[in-house]
Amino acid sequence: MSVPARHPHRRGCPETTGRADMTYDVIIVGASIAGCTAATAYGRAGLRVALLERHGNPQSHKTLCGHFILGGTHDTLQRLELWQPMLANGAAVSRGLGVWSEAGWIVPRPNQGVPPAISLRRSKLDPLLREIAGNTPGVDLLLGHRVVDLVADPAGPVDGVVAVTPDRERLTLRGRLIVGADGHRSAVAGLAGVPEDLAPNQRFLFWAYYEGAQPNGPGDGQVWLLDPDIAVCIRVDDGLTQVGVFPAKARLKEFADNREQAFRRFVDRLPDGPTLAGARRVSNLVGTTDYPCVRRDPVPRPGLALIGDAATASDPVPAVGCGWAFRSAAWLVDATAEALATGGSLSAALRTYRRAHRFIDKWDDIGRTDALAAPPNAIQRAIRTAAVHDDAIARRLAMFSMRAAEPSVLVNPAVAVRAAVRSRRRTAPEPVRV
Ligand SMILES: Cc1cc2nc3c(=O)[nH]c(=O)nc-3n(C[C@H](O)[C@H](O)[C@H](O)COP(=O)(O)OP(=O)(O)OC[C@H]3O[C@@H](n4cnc5c(N)ncnc54)[C@H](O)[C@@H]3O)c2cc1C
């Protein structure tokens, strides 16, 4: 990695320590997925960017993340020239997951135009994105800089941040646009007094990585919809397999009593589940027993935008968050770069960003309902049953699961009717011939 540890990048900008009011076009708080993506794109657009990260070590990374990036993000990653670097760092690509439900396996069909998903552990992904951002002309990556305050005229826009430097000095940076990319607990949102919309999550998550695990289901990865529990088996970088269980909270006690045994029992009972006998587990169990959904206005105040988890930290079970972080960052830059470069109307540009973000809001509404771990309704059951045999419904289900289209790709009356007909046709007993 070319990013030096514990020293900020400074390209053509004044020394940080002791200087107040350094001015940038954009100040981004948080150098993880959303922040690095936005910084890279702004830098490539010719803007001057300060990218502040509280951790001093460029290798620091998020550990509580399953890092399966849904296919709906594929085009964004290609456009931002991040897909190839991820592949070069060993990312595993998934072109079709097998989905098990009580109706049987929904086997992925080839050549249906469903974009591929990608998985690279955060221990590799976060440093890679930071390296790309830090090497982008115009971007000053300020590691070890924790933002502790915002600068704003009470009646005017937010136009600066105060950070504590690695030398424990307070540094003031000013910018026309301040971006909170600082995760689901967003300090920036807290400092700006942005209200939070919280929703419960009735599942919990644990997973581990294996060398030599033998998948037994169809596709290049598997998902089990066990109603209400869910499980996954996913190929990741370095030839490892990630096995994850997402039970409903009714099973919390079982996991509290003996987490290791409960995990193994769960996996061993999966229909066509992976063979772990002979495999070597190469990690601890990673996970959390409570992860509520958080949502904030992505443009909460003039001069301030939130991206990634700072705007929407969705239920982790459908694996949407990294994709939302990449995509919301790209949308913010698409909407605002020109206004920032030319001195155009930033508020109009931010309204455009907020409109683009509605795509995520719609999906988050669905995610919040699914996170309640309620039994599937009749339409959901019909869709799963029909998708076992019906290519068109299987394709729509895959596009839906990959967040590769609007929710209406699956949630619409025509699909419901077709699924009802197709599922009935399949489940009705054959007429008896005498
Ligand atoms: C259990 C679990 C499993 C998940 N699995 C998946 C999955 O399989 N697929 C998927 O797509 N998503 C998954 N997610 C979601 C995903 O992890 C997040 O959506 C993603 O990390 C959001 O990226 P981000 O850049 O917005 O925020 P983060 O990755 O949280 O980064 C925020 C950054 O801001 C920095 N920061 C914070 N405060 C400050 C401050 N005051 N000053 C300076 N810097 C600061 C932090 O150090 C950090 O680097 C999962 C989440 C959980 C909890």
The string of DSSP letters for 421-432 reads HHHHHHHSPPPP
Whose Cα sits closest to atom 41 in ligand 1?
Answer: 147
- pLDDT at res. 13: 39
Fold of 22-65+123-198+293-367: FAD/NAD(P)-binding domain (3.50.50)
The strand ranges marked E within 251-307 are: 280-281, 286-288, 293-295, 304-306
Give 124's contacts (C-beta < 8 A, 6+ positions apart).
89, 90, 237
For ligand 1, say whether the CB of 62 is within 6 Å of any of its atoms: yes
- 35 in Cβ contact with 42 (< 8 Å): no
Sign of CA dihedral 382, 388, 390, 393: positive
- The residues that bridge with 119 in the sheet, in sequence order, are 68, 92
Ligand 1 centre to CA of 277 (Å) is 33
For ligand 1, say whether the CB of 318 is within 6 Å of any of its atoms: no
For ligand 1, say whether the CB of 171 is within 6 Å of any of its atoms: no
Look at residues 212, 101, 214, 194 and name the one whose alpha carbon lies nearest to residue 150: 194
For ligand 1, say whether the CB of 72 is within 6 Å of any of its atoms: no
For ligand 1, say whether the CB of 293 is within 6 Å of any of its atoms: no
Ligand 1 centre to CA of 63 (Å) is 9
For ligand 1, say whether the CB of 147 is within 6 Å of any of its atoms: yes
Ligand 1 centre to CA of 53 (Å) is 13
For ligand 1, say whether the CB of 126 is within 6 Å of any of its atoms: no
Distances (CA, A) of 383 to 24, 102, 398, 421, 422: 51, 12, 12, 10, 9
DSSP per-residue string spanning 330-344: HHHHHHHHHHHHHT-
Q: How far apart are CA 139 and CA 291, in angstroms?
A: 33
Q: What is the DSSP letter of 106?
A: E
Radius of gyration of the chain (CA): 23
Look at residues 14, 57, 24, 35 and name the one whose alpha carbon lies nearest to residue 166: 57
Helix H or strand E segment including 253: helix 252-257
| Tokens 């002979």 belong to residue | 278
- pLDDT at res. 429: 43
Residue 327 tokens, joined: 């995509």
Ligand 1 centre to CA of 14 (Å) is 30
For ligand 1, say whether the CB of 64 is within 6 Å of any of its atoms: yes
What does each of the 434 residues of the chain score in pLDDT, given as a tens digit? 222 222 333 333 334 444 445 899 999 999 999 999 999 999 999 999 999 999 999 999 999 999 999 999 999 999 999 999 999 999 999 999 999 999 999 999 989 999 999 999 999 999 999 999 999 999 999 999 999 999 998 778 999 999 999 999 999 999 999 999 999 999 999 999 999 999 999 999 999 999 999 999 999 999 999 999 999 999 999 999 999 999 999 999 999 999 999 999 999 999 999 999 999 999 999 999 999 999 999 999 999 999 999 999 999 999 999 999 999 999 999 999 999 999 999 999 999 999 999 999 999 999 999 999 999 999 999 999 999 999 999 999 999 999 999 999 999 999 999 999 999 865 544 443 33
Fold of 204-290: D-Amino Acid Oxidase; Chain A, domain 2 (3.30.9)
- pLDDT at res. 401: 98
Domain extents in the chain: 22-65+123-198+293-367, 204-290, 378-427
